[in-house]
Amino acid sequence: MQVNIALLPGDGIGPEVTASAVKVLQKIGEISGHSFAFQKQLIGGCAIDAHGTALTDETIQICQQSDAVFLGAVGGPKWDDPNATVRPERGLLKLRKALDVFANLRPVSVFPQLAEASPLKPEKLEGVDLLVVRELTGGLYFGEPKGRSIVDGVETAVDTLRYNANEIRRVVELAFQLAKDRSKKVTSVDKANVLESSRLWRKITAEVAANHPEVTLENMLVDTASMRLIQNPADIDVLVTSNMFGDILTDEASVLSGSMGLLPSASLGQGGPGLYEPIHGSAPDIAGKGIANPMGAILSAALMLRYSLNLPEEGVRVESAVRKVIETGNRTVDLGGKLGTAQITGLVLSAL
């Protein structure tokens, strides 16, 4: 099978961890008889430098015509001017919108061998295996009106939190479908005691839940959810929430695993190519040093094999190889070890 992947390494450590994922995909291709073709394009700060925009229309078209899109990371101090009219993050938001990938899946599990890397007590981490489903193309990040102006002589900023019923229904429906293959429990997180958008969210969630009686629904306010993720994370199976809340809660959940460098993500739509990326940022402080943890990127490739390329067995093989490397005591610097990006990648390739 010939697979066409749009490759967007981006900024900082993005190119380094993306290269690791590419090597793993090429190896899996050799093993299973599939061919992966990569078309590299610019996004983020490097695209601003080259084209004056964080994402060109040509790159969008290439991504839309691919079987899947793989991204490294965007941003860095060079482009970190809050007053800039063009910022690296706009490229990522524009790409999500163009691909209509409305649901971001972030699995969080804990390797027992890495329990000591988490700031939580080991007993808090037993049985943690949760999946956050974050709405990705609506809400506060995309609502209009948006902007800054002078009102009555005072500088004023406006962001609009807007959702419609269809945007909510499709992401909640996906969460319930995913829960059926897990522990059959959905925790829907909102702020319905304050926000009208959350009251609509809760209404639509109840309607979806009525069509899935085999799945238990739990409604939870976001402030309570932020505590539960630390106090009793093993009690959460599938957590579905809005764009802004999901952005915050997934970063909080990343500490359960011990490092953001371990966690993958998949952004899915309806029929088009999925977007895959590790959840960590561009980490400019370690870029070019060869010490970035490539596991999040490699596991994102495993999600791509499963969700976009219909190669679930190959995805499991990649995940098993990562597990074997971790179980045998190999650690990158962020996990208290001494191995670099290339060394860990080589060990994963050997395990495959």
Handedness of CA 265, 247, 61, 83 (dihedral sign): negative
Q: What pLDDT sits at residue 271?
A: 83
126-146: pLDDT as tens digits: 999 999 999 999 999 999 999
pLDDT score for 1 = 81
For the chain, the structural domain boundaries read 1-102+260-352, 119-257
Is the pLDDT at 82 greater than 80? The verdict is no
Residue 280 half-sphere exposure toward CB, CA atoms < 13 A: 31
Are 235 and 200 within 8 A, CB to CB? no
Residue type, 5: I
pLDDT digits (tens, 9 = 90+) for 290-322: 999 999 999 999 999 999 999 999 999 999 999
Nearest CA among 178, 179, 204, 176 for reference residue 190? 204
Mean pLDDT, rounded, of the chain = 95
Q: How far apart are CA 7 and CA 335, in angstroms?
A: 27
- Give residue 202's pLDDT: 98
Strands 274-276, 266-268: pairing is antiparallel
Tokens (6 digits) for 90: 């706009």
pLDDT digits (tens, 9 = 90+) for 213-222: 999 999 999 9
Residue 252 has pLDDT above 80, yes or no: yes
pLDDT at 115: 85
- CATH fit for domain 119-257, picks 3.40.50.300, 3.40.718.10, 3.40.1670.10, 3.40.50.2300: 3.40.718.10
Angle between helices 14-32 and 341-351 in degrees, nearest 10: 10
Joined tokens for residue 283: 């980490």
Report cis status (omega within 30 of 0) of the bond before 145.
yes
Q: How far is the C-alpha of 71 from the C-alpha of 46, rounded, in Å?
A: 13
Q: At what angle do helices 243-257 and 222-231 cross, to 10 degrees?
A: 10
Q: Do the domains 1-102+260-352 and 119-257 sit in the same CATH topology, yes or no?
A: yes
Neighbours of 275 (CB within 10 A): 28
- Altogether, the residues listed in the chain come to a count of 352
Measure the CA angle with vertex 323, ends 319 and 326; round to 5°. Answer: 140
Class of domain 1-102+260-352: alpha beta
Give the dihedral of Cα atoms 344, 350, 351, 352; nearest 10 deg.
110
Supply the pLDDT for residue 233: 96
Checking if the pLDDT of 22 tops 80, the result is: yes
**Up-side HSE of residue 97: CA atoms within 13 Å toward CB?**
13
Residue 267 has pLDDT above 90, yes or no: yes
Q: Which residues are catalytic?
A: 141, 191, 223, 247, 251
Is 0.85 topped by the overall pTM? Answer: yes
Percent of the chain, pLDDT > 90?
90
Sheet containing 185-190: order of strands:
35-40, 2-10, 68-73, 274-276, 266-268, 103-109, 129-135, 238-241, 185-190, 216-221
Q: What are phi and psi of 343, to 5 degrees?
A: -65, -45
Residue 210 structure tokens: 């009525």
Q: Which bin fits 247, alpha (ψ -120 to 50), beta or left (φ > 0)?
A: alpha
Q: Is the pLDDT of residue 84 over 90?
A: no
What pLDDT was estimated at residue 117? 87
Question: Which H/E stretch holds residue 131?
Answer: strand 129-135
State the chain's maximal CA–CA distance in angstroms: 67
CB atoms within 10 A of CB 75: 23
> DSSP class of residue 37?
E
pLDDT at 25 over 90: yes
CA-to-CA distance for 212 and 201, rounded, in angstroms? 17
pLDDT of 243 > 90? The answer is: yes
The terminus-to-terminus CA distance of the chain in angstroms comes to: 19
Predicted local distance difference test score (pLDDT) of residue 98: 95
